[in-house]
Amino acid sequence: MMSFYLFRRHLLILCTCLLCSHGPAHADDIWIPQSNDREPWAPYVIELLQAALARAPAATPDHLHRLETHMTQDRAFTLLRGSQKLDIYWSMTSQAREQGVIVIRIPLLKGLLGQRLLAIRPESASRFAQIRTLDDLRRDFSLGQGHDWPDTAIQKAAGLNTVTSSTYDTLYQMLQARRFDAIPLGINEIDDELNKHGDVSMVVEKTLALVYPAPVFFFVAPKKAQLAARLEIGLNRMLADGSFDAMFDKRWSKTLLSKNMKSRRIFQLTNPLLSPETTEMIWRHPEYFLFPPRVESATPHPSGGRQ
């Protein structure tokens, strides 16, 4: 049986040949989500999107349009699957989210959303500093998350006491009201979020980190196969010529990110939401990640070992 990655390679070659044989694709209007306050890194993703499409150009310039509405992640995937005026979306992946859409399995944030630090009330710092095991965290603390975030299911599967909110900004009010003890946020976003919510008294907890595989992908509407092919070809070209890394390094300092994780007590969580295809990508391509996640190959070698 052809492996997923061999099939993917053949598909990418076929798409490249089709694009070349028919000349540059004709660009059309491309609808993307309105940037929201939850994603301080969205401008980087949009810049990456534009650069990738420029690496596999259409015959005419692309025109990006943003939906003039904010939506939940679940709503965005509903629109995407129905090709209802949403062509490209980006989010943390899950097996459910990968159904009915075209998935570009290249981690846009190098896995940073899976490196979670805790936003806490300042007076809680001494309690958190006493945590020694994951059981301590399970037993004595509660975490706040969005109701439709994959993180919620990941943390609940790990036995963590997780409280959800239907709106993002409400989480900070709930933290201040002592509805829970901490909000886990990606290492690439937590400082921005604390600065943005300066009306709430919060600090970054200094001793712990929750770590799990959590790649953020581009997802493309099923009727936009040619657009998806251009996007994947462009991203692969950026990986090959170093411009992907250059854009990432311009946005985040790898040295500072690594320093922020140093000397922390790391609690490794399993992500039960990953599809076999995404698990295989993570196992085969640790170079896609700043901190390579721990996963086992989804397609073990017939001899019982790794390929």
- As a dihedral over the C-alpha atoms of residue 29, residue 33, residue 39, residue 43, rounded to 10 degrees, the angle is 10
Residue 267, in any domain of the structure: no
Whether 34 and 101 map to the same domain: the answer is yes
Residue 194, in any domain of the structure: yes
Residue 264, in any domain of the structure: no
User: Chunked in runs of 10, what are the mean pLDDT values of the chain (307 residues)?
Assistant: 44 47 59 78 94 93 86 90 91 96 98 96 97 96 93 96 90 95 95 88 96 97 96 98 97 91 94 96 95 74 38
Yes or no: say if 97 and 153 are a contact pair by the CB < 8 Å rule: no
The pLDDT, as a whole number, for residue 297 is 64
The pLDDT, as a whole number, for residue 181 is 98
- As a dihedral over the C-alpha atoms of residue 15, residue 20, residue 21, residue 22, rounded to 10 degrees, the angle is 90
- How, if at all, do strands 63-66 and 29-32 pair? parallel
Distance of CA 216 to the CA centre of its chain: 2
**Beta-carbon count within 10 A of 156 CB:** 15
The pLDDT, as a whole number, for residue 26 is 53
Whether 198 and 230 map to the same domain: the answer is no
Whether 55 and 201 map to the same domain: the answer is no
- The residue range of the domain holding 183 is 114-211
What's the start-to-end Cα distance of the chain, in Å?
Answer: 15
Residue 297, in any domain of the structure: no
Whether 18 and 58 map to the same domain: the answer is yes
The pLDDT, as a whole number, for residue 8 is 47
Residue 262, in any domain of the structure: no
The pLDDT, as a whole number, for residue 1 is 39
Residue 250, in any domain of the structure: no
Phi first, then psi: what are they for 112, rounded to 5°?
Answer: -65, -30
Q: How many CA atoms lie within 13 A of 151 on its CB side?
A: 27
Closest CA to 77 of 222, 230, 240, 188: 222
Closest CA to 178 of 144, 206, 147: 144
The pLDDT, as a whole number, for residue 2 is 43
Whether 89 and 224 map to the same domain: the answer is yes
Domain count, the chain: 2
Residue 178, in any domain of the structure: yes
Whether 82 and 229 map to the same domain: the answer is yes
Whether 14 and 56 map to the same domain: the answer is yes
The pLDDT, as a whole number, for residue 50 is 96
Q: List the CATH number of the domain containing 9.
A: 3.40.190.10
Whether 207 and 220 map to the same domain: the answer is no
| ∠ CA 281-33-62, rounded to 5° | 85
- Residues 281 and 284: their CA atoms lie apart, in Å, by 5
Q: What's this model's pTM, rounded to 2 decimal places?
A: 0.86
Whether 188 and 40 map to the same domain: the answer is no
The pLDDT, as a whole number, for residue 17 is 47
- Residues 150 and 195: their CA atoms lie apart, in Å, by 24
Whether 221 and 107 map to the same domain: the answer is yes
The pLDDT, as a whole number, for residue 137 is 97
Whether 219 and 106 map to the same domain: the answer is yes
Residue 248, in any domain of the structure: no
